[in-house]
Chain A
Amino acid sequence: MSALGHVGGSTGTPAKLEKPRKRWLPYLLLLPGGLWLILFFAVPAIQLFATSLYDPSGSLEEGYAMTWQFSNYADAASEYLPHFMRSLGYAALTTVICLLLGYPLAYAIALKGGRWKNLLLICVIAPFFTSFLIRTLAWKVILSDNGWVVTTLDALHVPLPDGRLLATTPAVIAGLVYNFLPFMVLPLYASLEKLDPRLLEAAGDLYARPVARFTRVALPLSMPGVVAGTLLTFIPAAGDYINAQLLGTNRQYMIGNVIQSKFLRVGDYPNAAALSFTLMAAILVLVFVYVRRAGTDEVL
């Protein structure tokens, strides 16, 4: 491009004055965020990886020795495989339920919301005005054995497994769904909002019944939202430990609970770090496969 500037003759001079500025401006804009990421993500990640290879026999008081202890990973995987599987299973189930609940909701707001659109969206994000922890504690009260949900179900003679709701797997899943639903709805809404209703009309005009109109036109065109929403739900849900801790028992504990207790209660830093890294790698692989399979490269 700069060679063309010389050929251009007289117009080359003002362009030369502009060019250097344009060249470093993007880097300048990248700088604050980049520094932040290096300082608070890259460096801690490297530190965490290093920690995962320390000798686990050390302690916080005595200090740790770097022994390139790759066996930490093998131990983590063998000992806590059920927790890993439970985490991924709960997260997957949560994501599916969020998608089934969130898609119709986002669709209704985006295409039928009319002048209520903004109000309905505020309702979706309203829970964020209260802390995550407090909301989950509130669920603990709602689902408790003498809470109104259980007493109402009892009065209606609805049989409950173990005769209770709190401290069961459904309670943990319900809490996860509740807490991550907005992360599913918002990207879905953003992508459905862009959907041109005339395309749905065109589909109807071309003999597509309502079901075909959805599966052939609306759904494929909202795939970017589906992918973004499922990732934003699945990734944090897989690492969550609050819901399992407050709404479940140790039979519902997820890998997040193990990491949390290893770091903060047992003080076993090397194993906690190895578990963290294993979780991160597992999620990365799953996300990579998922995005490739969803094939949204062209839509995104």
Chain B
Amino acid sequence: MSEQRHGDSGADLNLVGVTKSFGAFTAVDDLSLTVPQGSFFALLGASGCGKTTTLRMIAGLEEPTAGRILLGDQDVTRLRPYKRPVNTVFQSYALFPHLNISDNVAFGLRRRGVKGVADQVERMLRLVDLESFGKRKPAQLSGGQQQRVALARALINHPQVLLLDEPLGALDLKLRRQMQVELKRIQTEVGITFVHVTHDQEEAMTMADTVAVMNAGKIEQLGSPVEMYDYPGTAFVANFLGQSNLFAGGVTGRSGDDVLVEAHGARFSLPATRARAADGSVWLGVRPEKMHLAAALDKVPAGHQSVTGIITDSSYVGVSTQYLVRPAWGDELTVFVPNSGVAAPLAVASEVTVHWRPEHAFLLSRPEGQTVAPVVDAEALA
């Protein structure tokens, strides 16, 4: 598969201080990042956060207002799209409606003057499981099949970087899950750098080695899905990547290796290794599935942190039951209890104690005066 490879392959993608403004609006703001060769990188963010603009600048479809884009040693910032060893899988697929599937897939090779492409096209269609569809027109294929054609059409060129712009957005949930696994398999197989833009945090976490969460044209945090989920860097990330219960509080001091926090009149502690702020206003965060429910305070295991409240709602979602618990200060906590058959379900309106291990909490700095955690507008995700 390496005979068509473009230039030298040991090349990382580098964005250096890239800015893109549309009039007075800054879509991408002084963005710098490195995508290592061969990795699966996800740019995650709500719509309007600048992730698609970033992708289009890498593809050459937009020109940065400032900054540089490098592929290995090559500066591609001002290079026309057709001169870049980069290919894109478009959100709308953008398959050529007048060409059949084989001709769509062969398009890139033919434009580069490659002769005898039939074998490669066939091999590529086999990779995406569409070997018998070569003679059909795009309109005769289902959404999932078109998606795979778009992927094959880009991959056949062996780009140094493959860009995927919300490629699974138009598929239904079940097909999307299937394609996530498929994409990851193909990426591992071909070893090409994938840069995947999505607003779906689950999609980003399932597939990517590295996730960059973008907000308002900047990268909020960048890291592996596990480390970002386990120990988010900002309140935005804590709520964007999964859900978090955040208590607005302040650091009151230290006790050995623990940081002491006071929030809503209650005292908490957590290991200093889990704290991103050592003093001042903070958010104390705990993931809903790391919280447990006890019927009474004396049933809380030793060493756990706890809050007492009233169950205001419970919803059964099969694998778990999601409870809303209102503590004395009002802001409801979300608690996921796995339906493993160990504990009996708890009734709404009963009093419970929510508890968690101190090392499962995390501490984030909180801008003075911010009392409501930044949440992502569900509309912006649509």
Interface residues of chain A, those whose CB is within 8 Å of chain B, are 196, 198-199, 201-209, 212, 216-217, 220-221, 298-299
Contact = CB atoms under 8 A, between A and B. Distances in A.
B98 A202 contact: no
Contacts of A208: 82, 107, 111
Interface stretch (B63-71, B89-97, B200-208, B242-250): B89-97
Given A198-B90, A198-B92, A212-B111, A204 B98 contact: no
Interface in B97-145: 97-98, 107-108, 111-112, 137
A217 B96 contact: yes
A209 B59 CA distance: 15
Contacts of A204: 60-61, 80-82
B108 A207 contact: yes
Q: Which of A198, A207, A212, A221 has the most CB of B within 10 A?
A: A207
B167 to A, nearest CB: 13
A201 B61 CA distance: 7
Given A198-B90, A198-B92, A205 B81 contact: yes
A198 B81 CA distance: 13
B87 interface: yes
Contacts of A209: 82, 111
B154 to A, nearest CB: 8
Contacts of A221: 96-98
Nearest to B159: A205
Interface residues of B, number: 24
B148 interface: no
A23 to B, nearest CB: 31
B157 interface: yes
A205 B97 contact: no
Contacts of A203: 96, 107
Nearest to B85: A207
A198 B94 contact: yes
B51 interface: no
Contacts of B111: 206-209, 212, 216
Contacts of A206: 82, 87, 107-108, 111, 153-154, 157
Contacts of A216: 96, 107, 111
Interface in B170-187: none
B82 A201 contact: no
Top 8 closest pairs, chain A to chain B, by CB: A202-B94, A206-B108, A207-B111, A204-B81, A198-B94, A220-B98, A207-B82, A208-B111
B147 interface: no
Given A206-B157, A207-B108, A208-B107, A201 B94 contact: yes
Contacts of B108: 206-207
Contacts of B81: 201, 204-205
Nearest to A201: B61
A204 B82 CA distance: 5
Given A204-B82, A205-B154, 4 more contacts: A207-B82, A207-B108, A209-B111, A216-B107
A78 to B, nearest CB: 45
A213 to B, nearest CB: 8
